[in-house]
Amino acid sequence: MATAGEVFRRSLTETVGQVCDDSSSSSELHVLAVDDSLVDRKVIERLLKISSCKVTAVESGTRALQYLGLDGERASVGFNGLKVNLIMTDYSMPGMTGYELLKKIKESSVLREIPVVVMSSENILTRIDRCLEEGAEEFLLKPVKLDDVKRLKDFIMKGDGKDGGETRILKRKQLDGYASLSSPSPSVACDPSSPLMPSSSPSARSSKRAKLRNKD
């Protein structure tokens, strides 16, 4: 993953969330994937590599925090110098869940700018809501598809949240489609004529979710 030259490039005080500032690395995104399942780690690794991303895959939230330098011990000494542009984490993991990892990341002044995506094989609306409320960019249903990764990559490369809110809401609509027992309607998945306005503030998110519920 990290090449010989890309070791300690900055201290913890620098912002970690910027996308295009580093001239020594390529324009490749570096994604930290967190999943306790070896099979799933391998799959997500492949999906990301095919999408021209650098990948670091770890098996737990604890390992992820260690990698990010936030394990509370020897923080700056143990910190890996390769900046992380995106974190993709499984929800159900033993020990620290993906939700707990998400919280810890968003509570950290150093790491909170890194977009976090939560993945789960279970389409549980309260779970999805909780993650989105805590600041997850997106909630992906497993098995994750190449299209999901491509869309994520486009979103991150844009470097801002303009699309984030809309993507979140579109995904939420799509998940609503699955959750209701009728067959999922493909038209819901990508609706450019949607009246929903992109926004990432918590109150705006709540009112969007309320709107979605009323639509069901």
Residues 6+ positions from 37 with CB-CB distance below 8 Å: 90
Closer of 10 and 42 to another protein (Cβ):
42
Closer of 42 and 213 to another protein (Cβ):
42
The C-alpha atoms of residue 24 and residue 9 are separated, in whole angstroms, by 10
Closer of 107 and 122 to another protein (Cβ):
122
For residue 21, the SS3 value is coil
Closer of 51 and 80 to another protein (Cβ):
51
Stretch that binds another protein, among 42-50, 129-137, 171-179, 202-210 (CB under 8 A): 42-50
Stretch that binds another protein, among 31-39, 71-79, 159-167, 169-177 (CB under 8 A): 31-39
Classify each residue of 131-155 as buried b or exposed e, where b means 16 or more C-beta atoms within 10 Å of its C-beta.
Answer: bbebbbbbbbbbebeeebbebbbeb
Residues 6+ positions from 159 with CB-CB distance below 8 Å: 18, 19, 20
Give the interface size with another protein as a residue count (CB under 8 A): 16
Q: Is 50 in the site for another protein (CB under 8 A)?
A: yes
Closest CA to 204 of 140, 132, 151, 152: 132
Q: Would you say 104 and 70 are in contact if contact means Cβ atoms under 8 Å apart?
A: yes
Closer of 174 and 199 to another protein (Cβ):
174
Q: Report in angstroms how near the CB of residue 142 gets to another protein at its nearest.
A: 7
Q: Is 179 in the site for another protein (CB under 8 A)?
A: no
Q: Is 189 in the site for another protein (CB under 8 A)?
A: no
Q: Is 42 in the site for another protein (CB under 8 A)?
A: yes
Site for another protein in 113-152 (CB under 8 A): 121, 142-143, 145-146
The C-alpha atoms of residue 216 and residue 125 are separated, in whole angstroms, by 13
The C-alpha atoms of residue 120 and residue 43 are separated, in whole angstroms, by 14
Site for another protein in 54-113 (CB under 8 A): 92
Q: Is 158 in the site for another protein (CB under 8 A)?
A: no
The C-alpha atoms of residue 46 and residue 49 are separated, in whole angstroms, by 5
The single-letter code of the amino acid at 88 is M
- Judged by CB under 8 A, the residue of 12, 43, 188, 204 near another protein is 43
Binding residues for another protein, rule: CB under 8 A, are 36-40, 42-43, 46-47, 50, 92, 121, 142-143, 145-146
